[in-house]
Amino acid sequence: MFSMQVETVLVNEWQLGDSLSQAIQTERRSDFGLMLAMLSQDVCLHGEFQLPKPALPEQQDLRQRFQLPEEAVLKREFLESDAGVEIASAFQNSGLSQSRLQHCLAPDALTYQGKRDHGLQVAIDNCAPSVTKATKAYAAKQPARWPLDQLLAAQRLQASAIA
């Protein structure tokens, strides 16, 4: 029986050399697709990505110079919804233009979430089947007794996976 063993893992397209560009130039779609499929999908093997850089001091100086408010927060917890309540009451009392003005003066967060974020489960669902299998195996090793908050979080994850 014939079996193929991979000696090295392909992480970058430069490891393929000129064969990738030659497959494009000679219109060999099957070779091109095969070479792309051979590239590793495991993020742990890829080089480090660039982290976001901190805000430059000149941006802060411009903010003070033009008397602009602080940047809007993208995410907050449910308990910190004071700005949203003020914007809603401004809309109820004076209409849309007043609520927009209130939002510009005191920006509200784009989303409100609880303590636990379910973004990790969405990311795992979008991973390769091997990664999903590994996470399920890891989850099976969890202790039999969970604290109540962890149990509720696990039930939410299962409910979101079903839906």
Q: Nearest Cα to 99, choosing from 87, 107, 109, 110?
A: 87
Instruction: Give the H/E segment covering residue 137.
Output: helix 129-140
Burial class (CB in 10 A: 0-12, 13-18, 19+), 87: buried
How does pLDDT run across 73-104, given as a tens digit for each residue? 777 776 666 777 888 888 888 888 888 888 88
* Cα 4 to Cα 113: distance, rounded to the nearest angstrom: 48
User: What is the residue type of 147?
Assistant: P
Which residues of the chain have a pLDDT value below 70?
Answer: 1-8, 42-56, 58-60, 78-81, 114-119, 142-148, 162-163
Per-domain residue ranges of the chain: 13-45, 65-113, 119-162
What is the pTM for the complete model shown? Answer: 0.33
Angle at 83 between CA 82 and CA 87, to 5 degrees: 120
* Cα 147 to Cα 115: distance, rounded to the nearest angstrom: 15
For residue 149 the two structure tokens come to 């908050």
Mean of the per-residue pLDDT values of the chain: 75
